[in-house]
Amino acid sequence: MSLRADNPLIVQSDRSLMLHTVRAVTDARGNPVKDEQGEPLTEEHPRFAAARDALSIFAELEKSPDYLHTYRITPVSIWNAAAMGKKADDIAAVLAEFSCVPVPNSVLHEIRQWVGRYGLLRIERRGERFELTSEHRDALADVLGHESIRKLVEIDGEGRVWVGPLARGSIKQALIKIGFPVDDRGGYVQGDAFEISLRKTTRGGRSFEPRAYQQGAAAAFHAGGTVLGGSGVVVLPCGAGKTVVGLAVMSLVREKTLILTTNTVAVRQWREEILDKTGLGEADVAEYTGDHKQVAPVTITTYQMLTWRRNKTDAFEHFSLFSRENWGLVIYDEVHLLPAPIFRVTADLQARRRLGLTATLVREDGKEDEVFCLIGPKRYDVPWKVLEGKGFIAAATCVEVRVPLPASLKAIYAAASARNKFRVASENPLKLQVIEHLLARHKDGHVLIIGQYIDQLNQLSRHLRVPLITGKTPNSERTELYEAFRAGRLPVLLVSKVGNFAVDLPEANVAIQVSGTFGSRQEEAQRLGRILRPKADGSAAVFYSVVTLGSRDQEFAEKRQLFLTEQGYAYEIVEASGWLDARGAAAEALP
């Protein structure tokens, strides 16, 4: 394939990819066109969107300034692509298709090496035992040269390598650390049979059938019940119905199921969805939380519950839930948030089918490889903009509103440590005036205001006379406030980071983010997700991120936006200094 000089992509030898988002406007003779000030005019590169979508399958976005996005190819990004059936030649063809300069041979070599290593080693069942095997004896000899691997296996007189039933997770963790992802075909124990069928009509009387992509995701995970499926991650946008994918998988597995999710509100939403859309009754679906510690054929609990202990030296008292029943399926909701203790117990659960659900595989702690080897590879993924285009999630506009730092805080900001600089900028008091203006602009909207710092949120709550939900808000009160918001009786609701996850508020159409967790890309995606449920009137949603101009707050905002930029969202930048008057009130409307 011949290279095109006007292509948007440059592939560098360090496996970084530079993708131009724009190109110069030229006249009929190919000469640059300039504006009245003599500056060159630019337009979106016509191949940018296609290149972005193609790269997202096997590369990770690192930076996204206005004109040049930076991606990086990593072993895990390549192995996830390989798990979805992509071959080295497929990836090489994409790079050649969009690159304007030759792709370095060293990069193509590494891609072929990484793709070649996926499935090079396998775990297979031999009766009641598990064997680590490969068609390439050199590969097996290579990994056995590592002490970290030898101590986890037994080698018999014939040179065969045996893995203990409880060592399947540990060996996969150890092997991925040295660059050898394992294709685990050891199969699964049969959990206790339990019939789970989907309704044709919900309890509320609505017709119900999983959407085509939800059925496709469930089928890709289940793989007909063979050892080729049964473990892995389904990646779908917030608001796209990941819970329905979980229900569809449960109806295929038809065994007792344990569901882990983020908080008690999410537990109850899962339970309501199960009762609404399956044939199960009240006694079949239990909540295992601080309020109700019940166990049933389908049991739903939280990560916090399972990782609770009296002090740091005590055992995790509720880990016994994993072995209390013969579970045939474990579902990890919001798998990108999986805490380290759950990773440890999951290493011992490799004989159970494991489904991870998430909007993004991004983990801020860099443990994507742990999700890959212990939960499983990515089995199904649909870009956010694809589902938006089909009307399955709401169209959304993202706006970054930049607010100046008051003169009274500039000296405090300058003298603060790097961490405290972020907090001073995040709690900028002028953000209050911006929020007042945005609320006036969306006076008929259903508005969520989301923040990180409780002091800031308490101040907003008092000034705006709007209720606030934090981690200390009793579950009963949370439920009442969420229900009032859903019903339209409460047009504005303040939430701390407890509102990031698994809160179903279909009519929310405006989100205002006043502060966040440093550069958390996953949090940005989740917060946008709060407003992506399709609206009854088909209207679009608006996501505002209010940041302090020229500060650490703005720097981290750019990092937070990376994942959404990769998904095709663009942030309109608005500087608020021109529309705040001397009295501190909004002087004019946003453009």
3-state secondary structure 349-386: CCCCEEEEEECCCCCCCCCHHHHHHHHCCEEEECCHHH
Query: Sign of the CA dihedral 146, 149, 152, 155?
Result: negative
pLDDT for the residue 586: 39
pLDDT for the residue 501: 64
Give how far Cα 161 sits from Cα of 168, 178, 180, Å: 12, 18, 16
**DSSP bridge pairs for 330:** 258, 354
Give how far Cα 528 sits from Cα of 493, 510, 542, Å: 15, 9, 9
Q: Show the low-confidence residues of the chain (pLDDT under 70).
A: 1-2, 64-66, 500-503, 518-519, 578-579, 581-591
pLDDT for the residue 389: 86
Half-sphere exposure of 410 (CA within 13 A, CB side): 7
Same fold, 121-185 and 212-382: no
pLDDT tens per residue, range 514-531 = 988 766 777 888 888 788
Which among 203, 213, 327 is positioned nearest to 260, based on CA atoms? 327
H runs (alpha helix) in 488-530? 521-529
Per domain, the residue ranges of the chain are 9-117, 121-185, 212-382, 389-579
CATH 3.40.1170 fits 121-185, yes or no: yes
Query: Sign of the CA dihedral 365, 369, 371, 374?
Result: negative
pLDDT for the residue 319: 86
pLDDT for the residue 1: 52
Q: What is the CATH number of domain 212-382?
A: 3.40.50.300
The tokens for 267 are 């537990």
Half-sphere exposure of 157 (CA within 13 A, CB side): 0
pLDDT for the residue 239: 82
CA angle 243, 569, 247 (to 5 degrees): 5
CB 374 within 8 A of CB 393: no
CATH 1.10.3720.10 fits 389-579, yes or no: no
Residue 538 and residue 541: Cα distance in Å, rounded? 10
pLDDT for the residue 581: 56
pLDDT for the residue 587: 35
CB 502 within 8 A of CB 263: yes
Residue 76 and residue 376: Cα distance in Å, rounded? 12
